[in-house]
Amino acid sequence: MKKVPFVSLLLIFVFFLATARAEESPAPSVYKLKIVYIFEIPKTEAILVVGNSGFRTVEALENWLTGLPAGTTLELDMSCESLGVEPLVRSEKEMNDFKRFCDEHKINLIIHPAG
């Protein structure tokens, strides 16, 4: 019976370990963040939407964003119109806090101004 050299086994192990690690951490992607209005009676509300996922609060959005890899890009198209019910863009402080959150989590936030 032929013995497999230790170095060959070690190389195979390292290859499988590297492959498994690559699968664990997905590559950064680009996501579009939208504000979607829900017109229900008695009041209109707005939610934050990324792809097919909706978030009623900035906190819920931030919780989801923490699962994305560093280097992810999040694009926000600002609107000219506001009903005053939109999360994230209601106040300058709220937006600045979100920008800081993105910086801390290495998420590239790109804000396209309205116009």
**Domains in the chain: how many in total?**
1
Residue 87 confidence (pLDDT): 86
68 within some domain: yes
Q: Is the pLDDT of residue 19 over 60?
A: no
17 within some domain: no
Does the N-terminal peptide bond of residue 42 adopt cis geometry, omega within 30 degrees of 0?
Answer: yes
Q: Can you name the residues that pair with 53 across neighbouring β-strands?
A: 50
Structural domain of residue 67, as residue ranges? 26-112
> Is-contact 48 61, C-beta < 8 A?
yes
107 within some domain: yes
10 within some domain: no
**Token pair belonging to 29:** 């992607």
3 within some domain: no
> Is-contact 24 9, C-beta < 8 A?
no
- Of the candidate ranges 20-24, 25-29, 75-79, the one whose mean pLDDT is the lowest: 20-24
52 within some domain: yes
How would residue 69 be classed by pLDDT, with cut points 50, 70 and 90? very high
Residue 25 confidence (pLDDT): 61
Q: What is the mean pLDDT of residues 13-42?
A: 75
Q: Does this model's pTM top 0.95?
A: no
The alpha helices in the chain, defined as continuous H runs, are: 6-24, 58-65, 92-104
